[in-house]
Amino acid sequence: MSQSTGGEEEEGFLTEGEQAIQRAPGDADHIAGIEQLPRLVNEDSWLVHRGRFLRTDLLLEVDALSYHLSIDAGRITTLVRGPLLMRPWRFAVRGHAQGWQKFWQPVPPPGYHDLFALTKGAGFRIEGDLHPLVANLLYFKDVLAAPRRLAQVGRP
Protein backbone atom coordinates (compact mmCIF):
# COMPACT_ATOMS: atom_id res chain seq x y z
CA MET A 1 0.00 0.00 0.00
CA SER A 2 1.12 3.51 -0.61
CA GLN A 3 1.59 5.49 2.55
CA SER A 4 2.07 9.20 2.80
CA THR A 5 3.41 11.42 5.48
CA GLY A 6 2.91 15.13 5.62
CA GLY A 7 5.87 16.05 3.38
CA GLU A 8 5.46 13.52 0.60
CA GLU A 9 3.80 14.19 -2.72
CA GLU A 10 0.30 12.80 -3.17
CA GLU A 11 0.97 11.19 -6.53
CA GLY A 12 1.83 7.88 -4.84
CA PHE A 13 -1.75 7.42 -3.73
CA LEU A 14 -3.10 5.74 -6.86
CA THR A 15 -0.43 3.15 -7.59
CA GLU A 16 -1.81 -0.02 -6.01
CA GLY A 17 -4.61 -1.64 -7.99
CA GLU A 18 -4.81 1.22 -10.48
CA GLN A 19 -6.48 0.23 -13.72
CA ALA A 20 -6.61 1.95 -17.07
CA ILE A 21 -9.95 3.70 -17.19
CA GLN A 22 -11.45 5.35 -20.22
CA ARG A 23 -12.70 8.74 -19.14
CA ALA A 24 -15.57 10.58 -20.73
CA PRO A 25 -15.10 14.35 -21.25
CA GLY A 26 -17.17 15.25 -18.16
CA ASP A 27 -15.42 12.76 -15.90
CA ALA A 28 -12.43 14.98 -15.11
CA ASP A 29 -14.20 17.05 -12.43
CA HIS A 30 -15.29 14.25 -10.13
CA ILE A 31 -12.15 12.19 -10.71
CA ALA A 32 -9.94 15.19 -9.92
CA GLY A 33 -12.04 15.92 -6.84
CA ILE A 34 -11.64 12.47 -5.37
CA GLU A 35 -8.01 12.02 -6.38
CA GLN A 36 -7.08 15.29 -4.64
CA LEU A 37 -8.82 14.37 -1.38
CA PRO A 38 -5.56 13.26 0.32
CA ARG A 39 -3.88 16.61 -0.36
CA LEU A 40 -6.97 18.66 0.50
CA VAL A 41 -7.59 16.82 3.77
CA ASN A 42 -4.01 16.31 4.93
CA GLU A 43 -3.13 19.99 4.42
CA ASP A 44 -6.09 21.13 6.52
CA SER A 45 -4.73 21.02 10.08
CA TRP A 46 -8.12 21.65 11.71
CA LEU A 47 -9.76 18.84 9.73
CA VAL A 48 -6.93 16.44 10.62
CA HIS A 49 -7.29 17.50 14.27
CA ARG A 50 -11.05 16.84 14.14
CA GLY A 51 -10.42 13.27 12.94
CA ARG A 52 -7.47 12.58 15.23
CA PHE A 53 -9.15 9.60 16.95
CA LEU A 54 -10.41 8.02 13.73
CA ARG A 55 -9.00 5.00 11.98
CA THR A 56 -11.17 3.44 9.27
CA ASP A 57 -11.47 2.36 5.65
CA LEU A 58 -14.25 3.50 3.36
CA LEU A 59 -15.36 3.16 -0.22
CA LEU A 60 -16.38 6.09 -2.42
CA GLU A 61 -18.11 5.12 -5.63
CA VAL A 62 -18.76 7.33 -8.66
CA ASP A 63 -20.93 5.37 -11.09
CA ALA A 64 -18.85 2.19 -11.63
CA LEU A 65 -15.55 3.76 -10.51
CA SER A 66 -14.58 2.99 -6.92
CA TYR A 67 -12.02 4.51 -4.58
CA HIS A 68 -10.86 2.89 -1.36
CA LEU A 69 -9.69 5.35 1.31
CA SER A 70 -7.81 4.55 4.48
CA ILE A 71 -7.89 7.14 7.22
CA ASP A 72 -5.58 7.09 10.23
CA ALA A 73 -5.57 9.83 12.87
CA GLY A 74 -7.53 12.15 10.58
CA ARG A 75 -5.14 11.82 7.62
CA ILE A 76 -5.95 10.01 4.40
CA THR A 77 -3.06 7.57 4.29
CA THR A 78 -4.13 5.57 1.25
CA LEU A 79 -6.30 6.24 -1.77
CA VAL A 80 -6.60 3.34 -4.21
CA ARG A 81 -8.69 3.33 -7.35
CA GLY A 82 -10.47 0.01 -7.83
CA PRO A 83 -12.39 -2.08 -8.19
CA LEU A 84 -10.63 -4.29 -5.68
CA LEU A 85 -13.03 -7.09 -4.90
CA MET A 86 -11.51 -8.37 -1.66
CA ARG A 87 -10.56 -5.02 -0.14
CA PRO A 88 -12.51 -4.46 3.09
CA TRP A 89 -14.27 -1.23 4.02
CA ARG A 90 -16.42 -0.15 6.97
CA PHE A 91 -18.91 1.93 5.01
CA ALA A 92 -19.48 3.10 1.46
CA VAL A 93 -20.86 6.26 -0.14
CA ARG A 94 -22.15 5.49 -3.62
CA GLY A 95 -23.43 8.00 -6.13
CA HIS A 96 -23.50 9.12 -9.73
CA ALA A 97 -20.99 11.47 -11.37
CA GLN A 98 -23.50 14.26 -11.96
CA GLY A 99 -24.46 14.24 -8.28
CA TRP A 100 -20.84 14.48 -7.14
CA GLN A 101 -20.25 17.37 -9.54
CA LYS A 102 -23.25 19.27 -8.15
CA PHE A 103 -22.21 18.47 -4.57
CA TRP A 104 -18.75 19.95 -5.21
CA GLN A 105 -19.98 23.24 -6.64
CA PRO A 106 -18.96 26.22 -4.45
CA VAL A 107 -22.66 26.73 -3.61
CA PRO A 108 -24.44 23.44 -4.33
CA PRO A 109 -28.10 23.48 -5.38
CA PRO A 110 -30.78 22.34 -2.92
CA GLY A 111 -30.70 18.59 -2.43
CA TYR A 112 -26.96 18.45 -3.22
CA HIS A 113 -25.68 20.59 -0.33
CA ASP A 114 -25.23 17.87 2.30
CA LEU A 115 -24.25 14.22 2.51
CA PHE A 116 -27.67 13.16 3.80
CA ALA A 117 -29.49 15.38 1.32
CA LEU A 118 -27.73 13.40 -1.42
CA THR A 119 -29.26 10.18 -0.07
CA LYS A 120 -32.71 11.72 0.17
CA GLY A 121 -33.25 12.91 -3.39
CA ALA A 122 -30.11 12.56 -5.47
CA GLY A 123 -30.00 8.75 -5.51
CA PHE A 124 -26.88 8.34 -3.35
CA ARG A 125 -26.53 5.40 -0.96
CA ILE A 126 -24.63 5.04 2.31
CA GLU A 127 -24.04 1.38 3.18
CA GLY A 128 -22.21 -0.70 5.74
CA ASP A 129 -21.27 -0.01 9.35
CA LEU A 130 -22.44 3.55 9.92
CA HIS A 131 -20.95 3.88 13.40
CA PRO A 132 -17.63 5.48 12.27
CA LEU A 133 -19.55 7.81 9.95
CA VAL A 134 -22.04 8.99 12.56
CA ALA A 135 -19.44 9.18 15.36
CA ASN A 136 -17.31 11.45 13.14
CA LEU A 137 -20.06 13.04 11.10
CA LEU A 138 -18.69 16.60 10.87
CA TYR A 139 -15.28 15.23 9.91
CA PHE A 140 -16.70 13.13 7.05
CA LYS A 141 -18.98 15.92 5.84
CA ASP A 142 -15.95 18.22 5.59
CA VAL A 143 -13.78 15.53 3.98
CA LEU A 144 -16.34 14.83 1.28
CA ALA A 145 -16.95 18.55 0.73
CA ALA A 146 -13.21 19.36 0.50
CA PRO A 147 -13.19 19.35 -3.35
CA ARG A 148 -15.45 22.42 -3.24
CA ARG A 149 -12.28 24.37 -2.48
CA LEU A 150 -10.94 23.38 -5.92
CA ALA A 151 -13.87 25.14 -7.59
CA GLN A 152 -13.27 28.26 -5.47
CA VAL A 153 -9.58 28.62 -6.41
CA GLY A 154 -10.27 30.49 -9.66
CA ARG A 155 -13.01 32.67 -8.16
CA PRO A 156 -12.45 36.26 -6.99
Compute the half-sphere exposure of residue 143: CA atoms within 13 Å on the CB side of its CA.
Answer: 24
The confidence score (pLDDT) of residue 52 equals 96
- 111: in domain: yes
Which CATH number do you get for residue 71? 3.30.1050.10
In a domain, 4, yes or no: no
Provide the domain count of the chain.
Answer: 1
CB 89 within 8 A of CB 76: no
Amino acid identity for residue 38 in this structure: P
Q: What 8-state DSSP symbol labels residue 121?
A: H
**Is residue 55 in some structural domain?**
yes
* Residue 5, in any domain of the structure: no
Across the 156 residues of the chain, what is the mean pLDDT of every consecutive 10-residue run? Answer: 42 40 46 86 96 96 92 96 87 94 93 94 93 97 92 58
Q: Residue 153: its pLDDT value, please?
A: 60
Distance CA 115, CA 55 (A): 20
Q: Would residue 141 count as lying in a domain?
A: yes
Determine the Cα–Cα distance for residues 119 and 34; give it in Å rounded to an integer.
19
For residue 10, the model assigns a pLDDT of 41
Q: Is residue 121 part of a domain?
A: yes
Within a domain: 94: yes
Give the per-residue pLDDT at 17: 37
Full residue range of the structural domain in which residue 81 is found: 10-152
Does 14 reside within a domain?
Answer: yes
